[in-house]
Amino acid sequence: MAWNNAEKIKKRGIVLRNVPTKGNDAMITAIGEGGVFSFFARGVRKLPSKNGAGCTELCLSNFVLSESLDGLLTLSEAASEALLYSDKSLESSICASLLAEAALKLFSEPGEENNPKMFHFFESCLRGIKDSDKPLAYAFLGMCKMLVYAGIGLDVGECVICGKKTGIIAISYPDGGFVCQDCASDLGASKTPVMQLKMLRFGFKCEEQDLPRADFPAPDCIALLIQLADYLNAQTGINLSGMKLLRTI
Ligand SMILES: [Zn+2]
């Protein structure tokens, strides 16, 4: 067998984080069909650098990486395919950063089970945030789906206490889903606005092809994103720093 300590690996992914290290180098973390991966990128912060654009945060790129014997990945080439980030509005930049932060914190654990569908859904949400005039709706739907893939999706098909499908009036986060009128009064849970119940049902049930149909009022998107972030924190201890900016919208 030939001695080869620099086998080339091709990966396509979206850059979630670009952390400068010494000199002009950086550590890059990206998400692709196979999940989150990290690599060392030498000289990418030097201007001009042929790989710099492809290592920009929220850039969808095709990477050529070499793996050393100790398993560390190093960048050989980064070809930018599309920048899935726009600063055309404060809303869209906050929404894109928030989803990237959530993906990074939810799916970075080694051995994390990953699903190519998750990556494609995430990519579609970022495109929606960038190109549509409803970035908050796409951020909300992206957050719902990430919770599903992280195994903490809410049950929006029936009352989580008694199983009844009718008379749903509230979401109970501590119980993990919808509750009916009778159970809500037993729990002392207050009513959730009807629009927000509809949004949660759509958010936890929709597929990628349903995304363009989503058109929700911005204040409801913000209210639910705040609730979902609190729910995520209660379930996992993860704190999304991007929520601070979202609250200023
Ligand atoms: Zn019930």
Q: What single-letter amino acid sits at 51?
A: N
Query: Residue 137 Cα, ligand 1 centroid: separation in angstroms?
Result: 29
Query: Residue 96 Cα, ligand 1 centroid: separation in angstroms?
Result: 36
Given a cut of 50, the residues of the chain with pLDDT beneath it are: 1-3
Return the axis-axis angle of helices 218-236 and 194-205, rounded to nearest 10°.
60
Give yes or no on whether 7-83 and 90-246 have one common fold.
no
Query: Residue 209 Cα, ligand 1 centroid: separation in angstroms?
Result: 31
List the structure tokens of 46: 């030097």
Please tell me the predicted confidence (pLDDT) of residue 111.
Answer: 58
Please tell me the predicted confidence (pLDDT) of residue 109.
Answer: 76
Q: Where are the domains of the chain?
A: 7-83, 90-246
**CATH code reported for the domain at 90-246:** 1.20.1440.120
Query: Residue 227 Cα, ligand 1 centroid: separation in angstroms?
Result: 21
**What are the counts of helices (DSSP H) followed by strands (DSSP E) for the chain?**
7, 7
Residues 57 and 85: their CA atoms lie apart, in Å, by 8
Q: pTM here?
A: 0.93
Q: Tens digits of per-residue pLDDT, 59-107?
A: 999 999 999 888 889 999 999 999 999 888 999 999 999 999 999 999 9
Query: Residue 158 Cα, ligand 1 centroid: separation in angstroms?
Result: 8
Q: Give the right CATH number for 7-83 from 2.40.50.140, 3.10.450.50, 1.10.760.10, 3.65.10.10.
A: 2.40.50.140
Please tell me the predicted confidence (pLDDT) of residue 3.
Answer: 45
Query: Residue 195 Cα, ligand 1 centroid: separation in angstroms?
Result: 20
